Amino acid sequence: MRILGTGSAAPKNVLTNQMLSTMVDTSDEWIVERTGIRTRHIAADDETALTMARDAATRALAAADIPASRIKLVICASVTNELRCPSLACSLQRDLGLPEEIMAFDINAACSGFIFALITASEFLKADDCALIVGSEVLSRITDYNDRSTCVLFGDGAGAAVIESSDEPLSWITTVKGDDQMLMIDDYIHMDGQAVFKFAVETLTRSIRSVTEKAGLTLAELDLIICHQANQRILASASKRLGVAMDRFFVNLAEHGNTSAASVPIALDEAVRAGLLHKDMRVILAGFGGGLTSGAIAMRWS
Ligand code: UT7
C-alpha cells in the first residue's frame, strides 16, 4: 500500500484548558500534567462529521492528484456521524462527485477505526486501484461537559488519506477484546480512565513490537511512529517500555486532544505537511481504544 495524499480539517473554535476550568472543577496545570493536552478544536453548530470529512478528503484528493475515476472504495471511520443512514462514506461519494461503481461504507472501531479501515482497504484493492480513507469525529456532541474525568480529553476534527495498491505487502496486526465496561458510548462517553490507560500502554507497546517484528525490522530501524493521540503519558510509557526515543513519536495532542478515529489521520497529515516523511522511511501507524480494539501498520514511505 502506498499513501498518495493526506488531508485534515479542524474546526476554528478552540476550547482551552483555562476555559474548561470555568466549566468544571479542573485546572490547566492538572490537564497538562496528566494528559499533555492544552487545547482542543470544537465544531460550531454548522460543522458536522460530514463537513469536516469533506474538507479533509478534498485536501487529500488534491494532494494525491489522481482522477476521481481511480477511487474504487471509500471507508469512513467514525462514532459520531449525525445519521445512521446514509453513511458518511455514501454522503462523501455524492458530495465529492466520486464514481458510482464503487463501494462506500462506514466502520466503527472507535479510536482504531482509521487503522482498521486502512488495513481493510489495502487487502481489498487490486492493481492501480485507489481508496479514500477518512476518520472524522465531532466528539464534543457526545462529551458530558459536567464530567471532568472525560471532558478535558476530547476534541473534534477529521483526517483523510488516498491510498493505492502497491507490490509491497503491508505488515499489520490487530486485536479485539470485547468489553463494554472500560469505555462505552451511549448519549455520552463513559470511561474508566485508569483501566483504559493500562490497556492502552500494554496494547500499544505490544502491537508496535509485534508489527515491527512482522515487517522484519528492529525497533531501532523505525523512523517515525504515529499513534492515536490519547494522552502524552501513554506515548511516553510506550516509548520507555520499547526503548524507542520519544523524538521518534509524532505528537500533536497538545493542540487537538483526543479526536478518536480522526486522531491518526490528522497526525499523519500534520507529519506529512511538516516534511517529516521521506522516501524509504520506516513508519508505524498505531491505534487503540473502545471495543476494546487495537491495530498497527508497518510501512515503508514511498
Ligand atoms: O481514546 C480512547 C483511549 N482513552 C485513553 O487512552 C484515556 C486513558 N486514560 C487517561 O488518559 C487517564 O486515566 C485520565 C487522563 C483520564 C485520568 O488521569 P489519571 O492520572 O488516571 O487520573 P485518575 O483517574 O486516577 O484521577 C486522579 C485524581 C482523582 O481525584 P482523587 O480521587 O485522587 O481525589 C480524580 O477525581 O484526579 C481527579 N481528576 C481530576 N482533577 C482535576 C480526574 N479528572 C480531573 C480533572 N481535573 N480533569
Are 182 and 152 contained in the same domain? Answer: no
Q: pTM of this prediction? A: 0.97
Are 176 and 156 contained in the same domain? Answer: no
Confirm whether 190 is a catalytic residue. no
Write down the pLDDT at residue 169. Answer: 79
Matching residue, cell 514511498: 302
Are 119 and 196 contained in the same domain? Answer: no
Are 140 and 190 contained in the same domain? Answer: no
Mean pLDDT of all residues in 223-242:
98
How many domains does the chain divide into? 2
Confirm whether 151 is a catalytic residue. no
Are 180 and 150 contained in the same domain? Answer: no
- The yes-or-no verdict on residue 168 having pLDDT over 90 is no
Tens of pLDDT, residue by residue over 66-84, are 998 999 999 999 999 999 9
Q: How many angstroms separate the alpha carbon of residue 46 from the centre of ligand 1? A: 31
Q: How many angstroms separate the alpha carbon of residue 35 from the centre of ligand 1? A: 8
Are 132 and 178 contained in the same domain? Answer: no
- The yes-or-no verdict on residue 150 having pLDDT over 90 is yes
Write down the pLDDT at residue 90. Answer: 98
Q: How many angstroms separate the alpha carbon of residue 69 from the centre of ligand 1? A: 47
Mean pLDDT of all residues in 252-276:
98
Which one is catalytic: 17, 81, 111, 227?
111
Write down the pLDDT at residue 241. Answer: 98
Are 160 and 184 contained in the same domain? Answer: no
Domain limits for position 269: 171-300
Share of the chain above pLDDT 70, in %: 100
- The yes-or-no verdict on residue 56 having pLDDT over 90 is yes
Are 295 and 268 contained in the same domain? Answer: yes
Pocket test for ligand 1, best of 79, 149, 256, 288 (most atoms within 8 A of CB): 149
* Ligand 1 atom nearest residue 196's Cα: 8
Are 33 and 149 contained in the same domain? Answer: yes
**Residues in the ligand 1 pocket, defined by CB under 6 Å:** 26, 30-31, 34-35, 111, 148-149, 152, 193-194, 196-197, 200, 230-231, 234, 258, 260, 289
Q: How many angstroms separate the alpha carbon of residue 266 from the centre of ligand 1? A: 24
Write down the pLDDT at residue 117. Answer: 98
Are 33 and 178 contained in the same domain? Answer: no
Cα distance between residue 271 and residue 252, in whole Å: 9
Mean pLDDT of all residues in 108-122:
98
- The yes-or-no verdict on residue 97 having pLDDT over 90 is yes
A 10 A CB-CB count for 144 gives 14
Banded pLDDT at 190 (limits 50, 70, 90): very high
Mean pLDDT of all residues in 220-229:
98
Confirm whether 228 is a catalytic residue. yes
Indicate which CATH number applies to the domain containing 218.
3.40.47.10
Are 196 and 276 contained in the same domain? Answer: yes
113, 148, 164 - which closes a domain:
164
